[in-house]
Amino acid sequence: MEHIISVLVENKFGVLSRVAGLFSGRGFNIESLSVAPSLDPSTSMMTIVTSGEDRIIEQIVKQLNKLIDVIKVVDLNESEFVERETALIKVHTKPEDRAEALRIADIFRASVIDSTPTTYTIEVTGDINKIEAIINLLQPLGIKELVRTGRVAIAREPIRPAVAQPKRVVKD
Amino acid sequence: MKLTGAEIFVESLKREGVKTIFALPGGVVLKIFDVLHQQKDVEVILTRHEQGAGHMAEGYAKATGKAGVALVTSGPGMSNVVTALVDAYMDSVPLVCFSGQVSTSLIGNDAFQEADNIGLSRPCTKYNFLVKDVNDLAVTIKEAFYIATTGRPGPVLVDIPKDVSMGKADFKYPGSVSIRGYNPTYEGNKWQIKQAAEAIMKSRKPVLYVGGGVIFSGASEELIELAEMMNIPVDMTLMALGAFPGEHPLSMGMMGMHGTYWSNMAVHYSDLVIAVGARFDDRVTGKVAEFCPHAKVIHIDIDPTSIRKNVNVDIPIVGDCKRVLQELNQILRATVNGEHKELRKPWWDQINEWKQAHPLTYEQDPNGPIKPQHLIKRLFELTKDRDPIVSTDVGQHQMWAAQYFKLAKPRRWLTSGGLGTMGFGFPAAMGAQAAFRDRLVLCIAGDGSVQMNTQELATAVVHKLPVKVVIVSNRFHGMVRQWQDLFYEGRYASSYLDVVPDFVKLAEAYGAVGLRATKVSEIDDVIREALAVNKPVFVDVPVDQYENCYPMIPAGGCNHEMILADPPELKKKQAASAKVVGEDKDTVLTA
Ligand SMILES: Cc1ncc(C[n+]2csc(CCOP(=O)(O)OP(=O)(O)O)c2C)c(N)n1
């Protein structure tokens, strides 16, 4: 099953390769990984999308925790979360397709951020289903280039004061 | 007053209480060697190869429990020490390895003898540091020792560029460090410990399955108390030998691929496996899906990733083995009564039956070739009063040593378990000897393995490390030959050693002592002679070339399905091939 794991790490040289090396060395999947400084600039937040049986996910979480540069690991699938991804899509547009491209963008509340007589560059943000849907629709027009940020996700704040929830323990 | 990076390095080692380091110089670390040369507190043992330095540091660490320290130069110095780092990482050996690096301004330029030391060591260290500023050097060294020796121990690399060792900074050694991403758990969860105690009280067929973690955590006393109080048999992994006294009536000896019949049968038929400081390695579990199929599993380990990595665990306890066992014993002490002894009588009857059915055996014809098992047994009997430290290489001789050398105490056993590194034994023994100058340190070596580090004879002679190396000479990569016998129809592809040096002359060439026993009747005298000299000794003992090591669980097999002796069809093949490969048998040995 797919899991989204948030990993708070030290913002220093070599940390990305330690995390990537852990995944490759132990044969764990990475579907996507995004990383950027967090609120405290001495740390970065990584969002890793991975998949595997429960036992594998448990190992991934534990192995990440074991890395000395990792401060906190949260398997977001343990609770509710929201996720977003941004894609930049450069589509070929023949004159007769230009209106269609704009209509598709409009449906997905995407915006055109660059335009030439033969292309549009469309920016779209949403969950993975939305991104994939717009790509599918634009495909027949001819996608010239596609860049995706990878997914980022954040836990939903519980509406009621949290009752002690069984969460995968962070840092044993 | 400002100190140079090199001076800070040496001062920091002193603050860490380091007495001995194993090292080999090169351009970028010359400043450090220059400072080391002008002081007396830290002894520098110059090795002849960086792999030797690494294994010596490992031997030192395993025997003392303190971090072993190696110092190597950039590029090839670093790449040569990698094997020892991988070995230490697999076997959780606390090691701090310092590597030289080209100056910071040159890093990334493919400078002379530049290598990406951080990249090379990343997958085989617990952590590694590149020191970019001399002001960070002292705190980095403090952190390196802290990480190497706490939690689950392991190797740490500190990469020091040349300009950092030449640069100057104020020296202040930190009293303590805290690293926000690193907080090992020492105390076990109380509720889980209580569950474990209850399971132990109830069990009819318990087995303790103990690993090297017991030794690192210094939990032998607690282990003995637990086993004795609850009358539980103790199976040891290769790494745990010595954690529980080998001749204790509750000792089951080694378990796993070449473990005793009864130890493997016991785990297989047990109803409660209590794993302490062990990691369910495939050499122990065999076919993992069928490992201890009837048992509830308690797993005590300081490393959360070890738990449920390979097998399902019913009662996981993350914590330091010593502390967890202390708490467990405390609960059990309060509840124990005579009943459990009675409860477990049928279990012990069964175990004793297994013991009698298939003891460890070999047949030594007094006039025939020396059996390797007999050699090791005699070595054990003749030295056990001196409480020796014993190292091994890797192969059949290692497994026989594990079976026949029944160590009484922890930190006496130096062997490469997880990685199985040939060439480990001799330098590891030297490392232990450097820590304990007055103790008896033995190395049980293979004639294949020992050749991977014989250059260290020079180091042993120069630094007066009188280790006694007994070479079990079968002129084969014996363990490889055994697999070829059993699984490749006796085709000895690259397992025969056409040329083996005359180990007696080799030792003498370096100024060490060489001895040889060729007959059963000579063994005792030669061993006594070796023990009597205060110099490094190579004792070459040609043994029966075709002896195989049993019991054996074929890789991926089930623990209760052991091969106990050579299959009958094998005997013939051996005899036939002996003529062919054995033709020049005597040329080297008697030369
Ligand atoms: C560095 C290294 N290379 C290869 C091996 C594979 N291997 C395992 S045992 C063995 C043979 C060891 O021969 P020897 O030291 O003579 O010991 P014996 O088995 O004969 O007792 C080999 C080649 C290894 N363990 N380590």
- The residue of chain A nearest to residue B187, with distances taken between CA atoms, is A172
Give yes or no for residue B376 having a pLDDT over 50: yes
In contact, B405 and B380? CB cutoff 8 Å: yes
Q: How confident is the model at residue B341 (pLDDT cuts 50, 70, 90)?
A: confident
Looking at residue B338, what is its pLDDT?
77
pLDDT value of residue B1: 83
Interface probe, candidates A66, A67, A69, A169, chain B, greatest B C-beta count within 10 A = A66
At residue B140, the pLDDT reads 98
The answer on pLDDT for B233 being more than 70 is yes
Chain A partners of B118 at a C-beta cutoff of 8 Å? 14
**So what's the pLDDT on residue B571?**
77
Q: Does the pLDDT value for residue B462 go beyond 50?
A: yes
The Cα B33–Cα B46 span in angstroms is: 11
Residues of B annotated as catalytic are: 50, 112-113, 162, 479
Is ligand 1 within 6 A of the CB of residue B397?
A: yes
Q: Strands of B242-381 (E only): list them.
A: 251-254, 272-276, 296-301, 315-318
Q: Which atom of ligand 1 is nearest to the CA of B372?
A: 21
Task: Please tell me the pTM assigned to this model.
Answer: 0.94
Residue B582: per-residue pLDDT: 47
pLDDT for residue A48 is more than 50 = yes
Q: Please tell me the distance between residue B472's alpha carbon and the centre of ligand 1 in angstroms.
A: 12
Give the pLDDT mean for A64-90. Answer: 97
Q: Please name the residue of chain B whose CA is at the shortest distance from the CA of residue A42.
A: B180
Q: Which residue has the higher pLDDT, B358 or A166?
A: B358
How far apart (Å, rounded) are the C-alpha atoms in residues B527 and B535?
14
The domain B372-577 having CATH identifier 3.40.50.970: the answer here is yes
Residues of chain B with CATH 3.40.50.970: 2-170, 372-577
- Which CATH architecture best describes the domain B190-357? 3-Layer(aba) Sandwich (3.40)
* Comma-separated ranges of CATH 3.40.50.1220 domains in chain B: 190-357
How much is the average pLDDT of B188-212?
Answer: 97
Q: What is the mean pLDDT of residues B230-259?
A: 97
pLDDT of B515 > 60? The answer is yes
pLDDT, averaged across chain B: 95
SS3 call for B106: helix
d(CA B316, CA B56): 35
Q: How confident is the model at residue B578 (pLDDT cuts 50, 70, 90)?
A: low
Residue B551: cis peptide before it, omega within 30 degrees of 0: yes
Backbone angles phi, psi at B576, to 5 degrees: -65, -45
User: Do the Cβ atoms of B360 and B403 come closer than 8 Å?
Assistant: yes
What pLDDT is stored for residue B587 in this prediction?
38
Amino acid at A47: T
Q: Which chain B residues are Cβ-neighbours of A68 within 8 angstroms?
A: 126-127, 147, 179, 181-182
Q: Looking at residue B589, what is its pLDDT?
A: 39
CA B127 to chain centre: 21
What is the percentage of chain B residues whose pLDDT exceeds 70?
97
Given an 8 Å threshold on Cβ–Cβ distance, is A68 in contact with B181?
Answer: yes
Judge whether residue B585 has pLDDT over 60.
no
Which residue's CA is the nearest one to ligand 1's atom 3? B422
Which CATH code fits B2-170?
3.40.50.970
Pocket probe mutation, ligand 1, options B55, B391, B422, max atoms within 8 Å of Cβ: B422
CB B50 within 8 Å of CB B24: yes
Show Cβ contacts of residue A48 under 8 Å, excluding neighbours closer than 6 positions. A4, A5, A6, A7, A19, A30, A32, A33
**How many interface pairs between A and B have CB atoms less than 8 angstroms apart?**
39
Tell me what pLDDT residue B579 has: 55
